[in-house]
Structure 1
Amino acid sequence: MAEKSKSAMSSVVETIKTIVYALLIAGIFRTFFFQPFWIPSGSMKDTLLIGDFLFVNKMAYGYSYASCPSIIAPGLGIDIGADDFCGFATEKEDRLLGRMPERGDVVVFRHPVTGRDFIKRLIGLPGDTVQMQGGQLFLNGDAVPQQDDGLFRETYEAQGPQGLRPRCANGAVGEGGECVKPRTIETLPNGVSYATLDIGEQALDDTGVYTVPEGHFFFMGDNRDNSTDSRVPQNLGGVGFVPLKDIVGRADRVVFSSAGRSLLHFWTWRGDRFFKAI
């Protein structure tokens, strides 16, 4: 009997050790190499769609406190941010093995106030001036070239686990109707091109001139009229200027994509987006 009890206890210990080792390996992987990220909103359409799953390359720009993993599960009451793991490094401006992000990169960063992960396109570098005039982007006083690229079409319906519905340029189309938005190809001074979407005349289509401070960056969503980004200051609920230390990494490729409310709804998987380059 004693031998059986001892054997059972040994089995439990081995199981616990296996779990601990697995968690350690996963933590090291997430901290230094790649972090999984689900796209929860439509602010980066049509580059990224709600339900896209990707890995964020943390090696691209080096490491800061923001490279530490975060564990957020509201349903379980868990809210552990990167600063909880690596709070000792939050005030350090330099990055270990640091490299500067490039204009046009799609970047994941920690919101400077809330600590939540955001994903946007890098538009303005330190020292740049950024402005929107009539829905057109101006960098350092020059208009960024735009080219009409037809329409982006999607079904007006609940999207993703949050059940978000898209905003449409063609008004209230009703459930199951065709929601469209004009699509434009924008080309930055370094040659990076990408599609932006437009819903119509909005408040942020015309802004003042933003001057990006040293050590900070200016981000915008590709779905311009449906994005909380650097155009709105942090004290008004926006992103504002993002410091280098808050950058997590670069998004390079969509690994998997599901258009449904649940990953288990295999009939909603988007096979054409598997391993799609961003």
Structure 2
Amino acid sequence: MKVLITGCNGQVGSCLTERLIAEAEVLALDSKRLDITDREAVFSIVSEFKPNYIINAAAYTAVDRAEQEIELSYAVNRNGPLNLAQVAKEIGAVLLHISTDYVFDGDGGNPYKESDKTGPKSVYGQSKLAGERAIAEACPKYLILRTAWVFGEHGTNFVKTMLRVAESRDELSIVGDQFGGPTYAGDVAGALITMIQHVEQGKDTKWGVYHFSGMPYASWFGFASAIFTAAEQQQVLAKIPTLSSIPTSAYPTPAKRPANSRLDCFKIEKQFGIKPSDWLTALNNIQAYK
């Protein structure tokens, strides 16, 4: 089995590379070794390696900056996946791609199913949705994994930010009216690998979009509270800041965040036997995120 991973230094890409290296022939590439927006480079490298599976963990994820860097956001989040989808079709490979809860407007009252209407409010979300559509049109064998609120040992994320600011702040105000499912990056990698194994074993695979995120659902305030509870129990921080919950309106950002980022993960469990990310357990080793 040959697997090509893009964005190999990111939160999920790092986990994928670490786990797959023992069971497959892996070509792990960061943006310096492969710019997915460069169609000629994509076709050259992928055609030479001839992977059975391509996992696209590369993305433009600067949500607020995307409101100004629109062209770059679309280049990485739409054009890049399109290039990978086209070459995957050409060589007969399966393309696995990571997408986001931001493809929804976040106004709904229930967890979002894959079949629910999309309506991104930010450039980031719009570019990611454009990438999904480009893949679906260009590649017959694709698995798109929408996830949310990802954190892990690598890269930058909410857990790392909370632990860092706690060292210099006695009080923190955290948004309490946005809800989602915190998701451990290692579990996202695990879900993608399980999907590959499912295909590799010749089991019936329904191509398309799947949701995968953590349970239980929480607000950013609730997520922060859990982080500091774990940090206190594991004696990772000398002191724990006092938290206060604030509305989104009190913390304006250039890009609009979905108020409801909860994803319904029933479909992926039914098809692949993949259960939601147990993010609370992932905080048991909170020292790893410092």
Q: Same fold (TM over 0.5)?
A: no
TM-score (norm 1): 0.24
Structure of larger gyration radius: 1
TM-score (norm 2): 0.23
More strand by share: 1
More helix by share: 2
